[in-house]
Copies of this chain bind each other. A is one copy, B any other.
Amino acid sequence: MKFLLSTLVFVFTFFLTTNSSFAQSKSVMGFSDDNAKKQLALEANFDTLLNSENLDVWMKYLTARPHHVGSPYDKKVVDFIAAKFKEWGYDVRIEKFNVLYPTPKLRLLEMTEPTKYTASLIEPSIVGDKSSTQIDEALPGYNIFSIDGDVTSELVFVNYGIPADYEELEKRGISVKGKIVIAKYAGSWRGIKPKLAAEKGAIGCIIYSDPKDDGYYQGDVYPIGPFKNKYGIQRGAVMDLPFAPGDPLTPGYGATDNAKRLAIKDATSLTKIPVLPISYHDALPLLKALRGPVAPVNWRGALPITYHIGPGPAKVHLKLEFNWDLKPAYDVIATLKGSTLPDEWVIRGNHHDAWVHGANDPISGLVAMMEEARAVSILAKQGHAPKRTLMYCAWGAEEPGLIGSTEWVETHAKELSEKVVAYINTDGTGAGFLNAGGSHTLEKFFNEITHVVHDPQKKVSVFDRRNAINIANNQPSWPYYKLAALGSGSDYSPFFQHLGISSFNMGFGGESSGGEYHTMYDSYKLYKRFKDPTFQYGVTLAKVAGRTSLRLANAEILPFEFSHFSNIVSKYADELTKLADQLRKDAENHNKLIENGIYDLVSNPKDNFKKPVPKITVPYFNFAPIENALIELKKNASIFSMAYKEGIKNKANIHKLNKVLKNMESKLIRSHGLPRRSWYKHHIYAPGFYTGYGVKTLPGVREAIEQKNFKEVTAQITILSEVLNGFNSSIIEAVKLMK
């Protein structure tokens, strides 16, 4: 352990020399020495209050029956959570939104040629896991927000169904126009697959879990092990999430009782073609019946067949009908009023709705949040109520498209923009290593927390355990905990990318893999056997997220700083120039190979490859406005750090300063939003238009380059530099308040 201890010492020394100020403690950003001591004592006390047994008992109750949106048990879950928070002394409201929530009326998938096969589309009960017998009460496998449809056509295998896959098809002269595509899960967020397939002219889309990515190739399948058995079906939303999350009928505003609703036919975020998810048991006969070219090596899965692309001779008939009903989405909002700054809010959230039982997703995270809230309430009763208001939110209708949180945020947008300091999200969680993403203006702050919370198995900090992986994999050791950039996929999105509120998303994983995600088998039984059996990591998550909430709630000066942000945005900007250079080089190389006949020379005449067409040449762009803004950012971040070190001269300015700091993230949004998706207003982080959950940083410029929309690149460079310059002005404003 010697090495680690010395790293730890190094890190603290670093803080000492660059971050300490007369008013600032060495160990807790935003606190004076005295208050830091008190805060650390509070946290030590907080830890002792956490009881893993509560997580177990609550999970057992909350996962006893399927509790998807609109189900009878959904309301039971909501009432249980609300009652608990009330019992602990929180001010509890249940906010209800009426949202579009289609459920299956008819699901039919059959192969009509060259042989007959009717897909079973069911997940049978598992002996030894009683919850898997509650089939009648559960939603079957389907993709919510698929349109109704009745289509018959030849099948084409499109790998993951992402842009690169369609390039491979094009090389082979294969079109999906008028065909039904079958795509593997993974490689992108699921909603991208039907979106792109429809853009390419397909009339239907089947998505299946290949055992290579999610099944026996990974490990023993349920119930022997936790991986996906041949009947498991991944449910999930396929709305156009990178366009906007939330209720499709109330885009951009709350789905309240009296809200004006679009007609279903006008709801742009529904799919354009019918989509159905199936198991690998049902996919096997379909894929086996395909002929045509053999799929490229990196397309091949782990089914015992030669993967062919088609089209056909397999022909399938896909018929889907849904009940297009509105259902109630309930958000439980539990508030603990701030003792001195009640109008500054720190919000914690985790959704409660599940696809079926949802032991892992989302209940494992929810019970950790509840235990955190329970301990916080005891601290309050002991006289240590948070200075700022702390709100715990259990969101409904996350699974269909972050609907509960989005509708709530849209409804209360103005107040939230004014009051919220930060939003801290969790969702499903497991065992192993801390994974956290978030606003880089809070990275330095969060890093401190990762050094003081210990891994429950290894007795070192969660930082050290996370960093050990880098070292073991021969990657650079982390000087501090590096936050991932947030894309989408959980309830932070409306706070972060729509309103510009600094956010976190966090959980543990790496030692709790499985294939239960969105299936009938995400049960209490499975969780207890294979995930976090004693809830020791659930409690650890409560320690990390609890400290994040409590420190933000109690800090004297909000613990934002800008050097980490400056560094990472400079890195993102470097990526942009490299991306343009790479695309330019690729196009030039490709065109040269065509010109010199190389593709023709290496091609096998038997393969019938199409003659490749030249690629568009990528021009040089003027990145200078961004680079100049980043030079300023670096300078200003440094000035801010120095001022922070010297301390606030005029204590009367602290409140004003905190207001400026709280609003910093909002300087990164623009009301017009990103091109063709105005709901997403953050110009540093967004989910990728063609990746879904996967983040695109500096998305305006990056996606314009990727999509070879060269005019837009220049326009977006201007916008981004303006955004960064606005951010720079706010830093200067903050610095002035510290002088």
Q: Which positions in A face B, CB cutoff 8 Å?
A: 1-4, 211, 216-221, 225, 227, 294, 300, 302-306, 432, 457-458, 460, 464-465, 468-469, 471-472, 474, 510-511, 589, 592-593, 595-602, 604-606
Q: Are B593 and A300 in contact (CB under 8 A)?
A: no
* Across-interface contacts of A219 in B (CB, < 8 A): 294, 306
Tell which of B1, B302, B510, B605 touches A597, judged by Cβ atoms closer than 8 Å.
B1
A470 → chain B, closest Cβ, in Å? 9
A270 → chain B, closest Cβ, in Å? 36
Q: Are A468 and B3 in contact (CB under 8 A)?
A: no
Q: Which 10 A-B pairs have the closest CB atoms?
A: A3-B596, A468-B601, A304-B304, A511-B604, A216-B306, A472-B602, A1-B597, A468-B598, A468-B602, A220-B306
* Across-interface contacts of A465 in B (CB, < 8 A): 601-602
A491 → chain B, closest Cβ, in Å? 29
* Across-interface contacts of A305 in B (CB, < 8 A): 216
A-B contact pairs, 16 of them (CB 8 A): A3-B598, A217-B306, A218-B306, A302-B304, A303-B304, A432-B604, A464-B601, A465-B601, A465-B602, A468-B601, A471-B596, A471-B598, A472-B593, A472-B598, A472-B602, A511-B606
* Across-interface contacts of A471 in B (CB, < 8 A): 593, 596, 598
A120 → chain B, closest Cβ, in Å? 18
A9 → chain B, closest Cβ, in Å? 14
Q: Are B511 and A211 in contact (CB under 8 A)?
A: no
A302 to B306, CA, bound (A): 10
Given contacts A464-B601, A598-B471, contact A300 B217 (CB under 8 A): yes
13 extra interface residue pairs, beta carbon distance < 8 Å, beyond A1-B596, A471-B598, A472-B598: A1-B597, A4-B598, A4-B601, A218-B306, A220-B306, A221-B306, A227-B306, A302-B304, A304-B304, A460-B601, A465-B602, A468-B601, A474-B589
Q: Are B472 and A216 in contact (CB under 8 A)?
A: no
Which residue from chain B places its CB closest to the CB of A473 in the assembled complex? B602
A585 to B597, CA, bound (A): 44
* Across-interface contacts of A602 in B (CB, < 8 A): 465, 468-469, 472
A388 → chain B, closest Cβ, in Å? 36
A167 → chain B, closest Cβ, in Å? 16
A218 to B307, CA, bound (A): 9
Q: Is the interface of A mostly helix, strand, loop or mixed?
A: mixed
Q: Are A457 and B595 in contact (CB under 8 A)?
A: no
A464 to B600, CA, bound (A): 12
A306 to B230, CA, bound (A): 12
Tell which of B304, B458, B600 touches A601, judged by Cβ atoms closer than 8 Å.
B458
A567 → chain B, closest Cβ, in Å? 26
A216 to B600, CA, bound (A): 28
A210 → chain B, closest Cβ, in Å? 11
Q: Are A211 and B472 in contact (CB under 8 A)?
A: no
Which residue from chain B places its CB closest to the CB of A596 in the assembled complex? B3
Which residue from chain B places its CB closest to the CB of A433 in the assembled complex? B602
* Across-interface contacts of A589 in B (CB, < 8 A): 474
A219 to B211, CA, bound (A): 19
* Across-interface contacts of A597 in B (CB, < 8 A): 1, 3-4
* Across-interface contacts of A599 in B (CB, < 8 A): 472
A42 → chain B, closest Cβ, in Å? 29
Q: Are A595 and B3 in contact (CB under 8 A)?
A: yes
A2 to B594, CA, bound (A): 11
A55 → chain B, closest Cβ, in Å? 20
Which residue from chain B places its CB closest to the CB of A217 in the assembled complex? B300
A198 to B368, CA, bound (A): 53
Which residue from chain B places its CB closest to the CB of A460 in the assembled complex? B601
A598 to B467, CA, bound (A): 9
* Across-interface contacts of A300 in B (CB, < 8 A): 217
Q: Are A596 and B306 in contact (CB under 8 A)?
A: no
Q: Are B294 and A216 in contact (CB under 8 A)?
A: no
* Across-interface contacts of A511 in B (CB, < 8 A): 604, 606
A604 → chain B, closest Cβ, in Å? 5
A641 → chain B, closest Cβ, in Å? 31
Q: Are B4 and A596 in contact (CB under 8 A)?
A: yes
A220 to B307, CA, bound (A): 9
A216 to B304, CA, bound (A): 7
* Across-interface contacts of A593 in B (CB, < 8 A): 471-472
